[in-house]
Structure 1
Amino acid sequence: MSIHHRMRHAVALTLALLLALLLGAPLASAVAGPASTAHADLDAYIRERMDATGTPGLSYAVVGPDGPVHQRSWGHDGRGAPVTADTPFLWGSVAKPVTATAVMTLVQDGRLALDDRVVDHLPAFRFGGAEHASEVTVRHLLDQTAGIPAAATFKVTDCHDPDCPPPADRISALDDVTPLGPPGAEYAYTSANYLLLAAVVEAVTGRPYAEYLRTRVLRPAGMDGAVADGASARERRLAPGHQLMWGRPAAVADGYDEHGAAYGYTGGALHDLAAFAALQLRRGKAPDGARILTEESVRLMRTEGTLASGEGTGYGFGWRVGGLEAPLDKAVWHIGASPGYSAMLFLLPGQNQALVIQQNLHGLLQDEAIMEVGFGAARILAGGEAPSDAPSMWLYDLTIWGTTALAVLMLLAAARSVQLLIRRSALRTSRARRVMVTALWAVAGALPGVLLAMLVKFMGVEQAWSWFPDLCIALWVAAVAGVLVIGLRLAGAVRPARRRESPAVRENPAVVAAAPGSDVPAVQ
């Protein structure tokens, strides 16, 4: 290259550098064009899902190894304040990989082994009888293969009373639960496994689980604003979450399980959840370079469990592994919910990035529709397209409006029964017909009470109210009205008949004796 060309090249380079310095922001924006377009697509999709589900507040971030590279917050919290990146949410079962991280720090320190028997740390553990309990290990709890059925979750979780017992004092509720099979034979996802892990951590360390978690995981990972117990929830001014009440979100979910951080009551602001995702992308390294997790711990946590039959479980240690269609087939992920809150975390190892989403709305009958925002957004981030046939909330609509219609029907039936009893005007019918009609109303009146009893038996009173407030109200009203209908109809069936008398009968009561089919004795 000639001197002349070198000079022209140098001048051009200098001018380009000066232009870059003067117009740095526009140039940076132009360079980031493709990523910004992808993020704009994410923004649009997430806002669309918020509108579809009526979610009051949401906060999300695309995360790289060094933290968020794109984040947005919309809506309001349960007190009406605008949602920002500093607004705390609860994460539900996204707490499970956080718990597994804490457990693995004890394993790394040699204070706990994956194949330790749970009874060696919790002598009161008697799930399935002494023989079964003696075979359950820490590994079985982590990968959800201890044989505890999913229905047992409600026996030990979602305790919102101020004097709720600590984890070790709840495990006796599992004593009469029948195991699904020997430990390691069946996979069943249940928060009971992770409540037991909290009890194990407390037994090994001699400290409350939340305190150990904060010392060994949350603070080193940069999750300083995380919620892990009642004190931190109050300090962070955690607002009530939202649940649908007859189709409209209401900030009624204000319960908190003081000892539930291990399975679902960990939470925090967007930067806290993003910090945990970044920790995982750095494969266990804290922001200062120190190791919270070893490479081996990270590998074990993301390795799919295998049953005794050789079948894969789709679950590692606190992580769901794969199980989704491409381009998310290699994702490591977890979703979670507590009453009124939901969260999602997707690790995309091939792209070295993650997606975290927090919402202040959840209900079990709307779970699929509410969680779709995470799966669709993760597909977009991974280079795919969100499904065009997003799930609706038809199950919720069918259940709540059907139950409400039943409650209205029972109230109308109760009012009609009062009217009939006062007037005694349904007495022209035969006794057999009255008995048949009364029996039919007894069955109809008992139905709401039976449904409410089944719900309470399956979940417990507190859990049923926490997860299904509007359904419980509708069933309770229907059940009370049904009892009234039964009582009033029975009273009407056994009460003596009073017929409408014609003037001739009133003037000559003896005529009654000649009335065909009369049940009234003739006047002597």
Structure 2
Amino acid sequence: MLVFPLHTNADSQKQNELIEKYMEKALDEYQIPGASLAIVREGHVWFQKSWGIQGNGDPVTEDTLFTIGSVSKPLTSLAIMKLVEKGMIELDQEIDYYLPSFQYNVKGYDKKITIRNLLTHTSGISSYDGLKIADQNLRGKEAISEAVKKLNNVKLNYEPGSVHQYSAANYLLLGRIIEKITGETFSEFMDTEIYTSFGMNRTVSSFEEASKLGYQPGYHSFFGKPIKSNMIYDDSGASYGYTASSADDMAKYLLFLLDSEDLLSDELFKEYISPQVHRKDEMYYGLGWRISTDDEDPYIFHGGETPDSRAELYINHKNDYGFILLTNKNDISETMSTLSMREGIKTIMERGRMPELIKMNYQMQWIPLLLTILFAFCGSLSLYRLKKKTSFHYMSWNIAGFSLLLCSFVIIPIVTYIFSAPWHSIYHYSFITAIFILSFVGVLAIYGFLIIVMAYKRKQEMK
């Protein structure tokens, strides 16, 4: 009886030390300016620490606000479940009943979109259409309504309920439905019904409220090195990605998820965290959750990102612990950084050992940069040769010039097609890559134009 607690405390101390060492190593490896981590275990906050600086140079603390990205979705889902408990929403009711002004093209499908379809991303609205209305930097009380108007008349590409296709549009519509049903803004309802219930006094769903609490934008990445972000905070995205919170507040939400408390009935809480749609192997999507149903390793989680932040939330009911990781740097090329950190924290907590970190590569930034340099060099050389030539084939040079101009016009459409994302999403989430791509496009256009002009001048000179 005396030895066992000592052994347990020794294990906890070792895990605590490993977590600190691992986080310091990861933040240094991935050059993340600021981060905050809270781990809850057996009904209390077991570990909490913050590192680094905010965008204004102030130190990060447990109260520092970060945008939590798609970790906002489980919170929105919880608000919907709260309305279900109040009898104001039915999960399998068609959304036309709650939002009759919103129109969508069913393309001949028999089924209509339900609340459950929105929650599980099975509405038939594509990921691309969701990205088109995301990150618009809309502000104010009408922001969600404005974004829904932009989505109006969207065409479904699958029958509702048939295919899981992750889309910001689904949770945008849920945010608007909450506003229509309650008569409050999404931000007001979340504050009074959800955040206040948990004592989350530093969690907000609008830029105005975040600014009052000292919110600072994060960082983009230049080959791993952090560079300050230009402010992107989209009020219309509060329900799917632009909630701002602190590690201390999110720890309170984690405690609710582990203990279920009294916010929902046992039946509704069970449904809230249950698998709904199969994705692959033993992975499912639930009502705003990614869920592993592996008997040996069951857990629920969700990652999130905004243009200058990344977050990871993880809950393991079997081992009675969970954690929230908040960081203030993001780039598409570094997606694996916080995923690696999440798996590392999980490994330390469950196996007591510190794994290796995944190495980052920056091919997405190197490729357009090197292409720009290569074409700038080749272009300069070709123009020099054209100027020195005593004889040349005018038509060949003219065709080459017009071909380069044409290429400059199609590069960005090709990039958006490859990434299945609109240009503004690529620009926001991979800022440096986008700048290099634009530079490459500019070099091609200038190179093509100069070839045409110089070829014409040479032709005139040789007459």
Global fold match (TM > 0.5): yes
Query: What is the match of residue 435 of structure 2?
Result: 473
Indicate yes or no: 2:267 matched with 1:296.
yes
Instruction: Decide which moves more: 346-355 or 490-499.
Output: 490-499
1:224 CA drift (Å): 0.7
* Whole-Å separation in 2 of the counterparts to 1:443 and 1:350: 61
Letter in 2 for 1:480: G
What corresponds to 1:451 in structure 2? 411
Picking from 314, 326, 334, the partner of 1:358 is 326
* SS of 1:220 mapped into structure 2: helix
The answer on 1:330 being equivalent to 2:298 is: yes
Give, in angstroms, the shift of residue 462 of structure 1: 3.7
Match of 1:511 in 2: none
> Contact 2:138/2:236 (CA < 8 Å) preserved in 1?
no
Post-superposition shift, 1:84?
Answer: 1.3
Matched, 1:204 2:178: no
AA paired with 1:305?
Q
Q: Which residue of 2 aligns with 1:344?
A: 312
Q: CA deviation at 1:343?
A: 0.8
Q: For residues 128 and 279 of structure 1, do their structure 2 counterparts lie closer, same or farther at Cα, with a shift above 3 Å needed?
A: same
Report what 1:439 is aligned to.
399
Q: Distance in 2 between matches of 1:418 and 1:144?
A: 53
What secondary structure, in the 3-state scheme, does the structure 2 residue paired with 1:170 have? Answer: helix
Identical columns (%):
23
> By how many angstroms is 1:141 displaced?
0.8
Alignment match, 2:214:
237
Counterpart code for 1:91: I
Q: CA deviation at 1:416?
A: 5.0
> Which structure has the larger Rg?
1
In the TM superposition, what is the alpha-carbon distance from 1:427 to its structure 2 partner?
A: 3.5
SS in 1 for 2:284: coil
1:427 is aligned to 2:404: no
Equivalences for 1:58-137 in 2 at 5 Å?
58-64=35-41, 66-129=43-106, 135-137=112-114
State the 1:379 CA deviation: 2.5
What amino acid is the match of 2:132? K
1:369 to 309, 317, 337: 337
Partner Cα separation in structure 2 for residue 310 and residue 331 of structure 1? 15
How far 1:410 moved relative to its partner?
3.9
Larger mean CA deviation between 120-129 and 186-195 belongs to: 120-129
Aligned to 1:493: 455
CA contact (8 A) 1:448 1:475 kept: no
Change in CA separation of 1:489 and 1:313 when aligned onto 2, cut-off 3 Å: same
What per-residue deviation string (whole Å, max 9, x for no partner) do you get for residues 81-132 of structure 1? 1111121111111111111111111000001111121011111322233865
Q: How many aligned residue pairs are there?
A: 458
Give TM-score scaled by structure 2 length: 0.90
Asked whether the equivalents of residues 93 and 263 of structure 1 are also in contact (C-alpha less than 8 Å), the reply is yes
Q: 1:508 corresponds to which residue? A: none
Q: Which residue of 1 aligns with 2:123?
A: 146
Q: Distance in 2 between matches of 1:321 and 1:456?
A: 30
Output the CA distance in 2 between the equivalents of 1:90 and 1:481.
Answer: 36
Query: Within 2, Cα distance between the matches of 1:346 and 1:473?
Result: 34
Partner of 1:318: 288
Deviation string for 1:388-418 (max 9, x for gaps)?
Answer: 4x43322xx2121121122223444555566
Q: In the TM superposition, what is the alpha-carbon distance from 1:194 to its structure 2 partner?
A: 0.7
SS at match of 1:495: helix
Amino acid at match of 2:344: G
SS of the equivalent of 2:322 reads strand
Give the secondary-structure state (helix, strand or coil) at the position aligned to 1:49: helix
Maintained 8 Å contact 1:160/1:255: yes
Cα distance between partner residues in 2 of 1:34 and 1:44: 15
Taking the aligned partners of 1:453 and 1:310, their CA distance within structure 2 comes to 31
Task: In structure 2, give the amino acid aligned to 1:333.
Answer: F
CA distance in 1 between partners of 2:176 and 2:324 (Å): 28
2:368 is aligned with 1:403 = yes
1:418-438 residue CA offsets vs partner (Å, 9 max, x unmatched): 6567xx422323x2xx53355
Q: Name the CA shift for 1:326/1:48 in 2 (closer, same or farther; >3 Å).
A: farther
Do the aligned residues in 1 keep the contact of 2:119 with 2:288 (CA within 8 Å)? Answer: yes
Q: 1:482 and 2:444 equivalent? A: yes
Paired residue secondary structure (2:197): coil
- What residue identity is the alignment partner of 1:225? R
Aligned residue for 1:337, secondary structure, equals: strand
1:210 deviates by 0.9
Q: Distance in 2 between matches of 1:108 and 1:354?
A: 26
Question: The residue matched to 1:187 in structure 2 has which SS?
Answer: coil
Aligned residue type for 2:359: S
Trace 1:175-214 onto structure 2 (pairs within 5 A): 175=152, 177-214=154-191
Structure 2 portions without partners, runs of 5+: none
CA distance in 1, matches of 2:384, 2:289: 60
1:274 is aligned, of 251, 272, 276, to 251
Matched-pair contact (CA < 8 Å) for 1:264–1:338:
yes
**Partners of 1:51 and 1:380 in 2: how far apart?**
19
Check the 8 A contact 1:122/1:168 in 2, yes or no.
no
CA contact 1:449–1:482 (8 Å) conserved in 2: no
Alignment CA distance shift 1:124-1:155 (3 Å): farther
Q: 2-side partners of 1:310 and 1:349: how far apart?
A: 21
User: What secondary structure is seen at the aligned counterpart in 1 of 2:286?
Assistant: coil
Out of 475-484 and 160-169, give the one that drifted further.
160-169
**1:378 and 2:346 equivalent?**
yes
How far the C-alpha of 1:493 sits from its partner, in A, is 2.5
Q: Which moved more, 1:111-120 or 1:177-186?
A: 177-186
Q: Give the Cα separation in 1 of the matches to 2:26 and 2:46.
A: 22
- Kept after mapping to 2: 8 A contact 1:187/1:313: no
Return the alpha-carbon distance in structure 1 between the equivalents of residues 45 and 402 of structure 2. 61
- Please report the RMSD computed on the Cα atoms of aligned residues, expressed in angstroms: 2.9
1:166 paired with 2:133, answer no
Residues 123 and 364 (structure 1), Cα distance of their counterparts in 2 relative to 1, 3 Å cut = same
> What amino acid does structure 2 have at the position aligned with 1:402?
I
Q: 1:462 to 1:163 in 2, by over 3 A?
A: farther
Change (3 A) 1:179 1:70: same
* Residues 334 and 360 in structure 2, CA contact (< 8 A), matched pair in contact too: yes
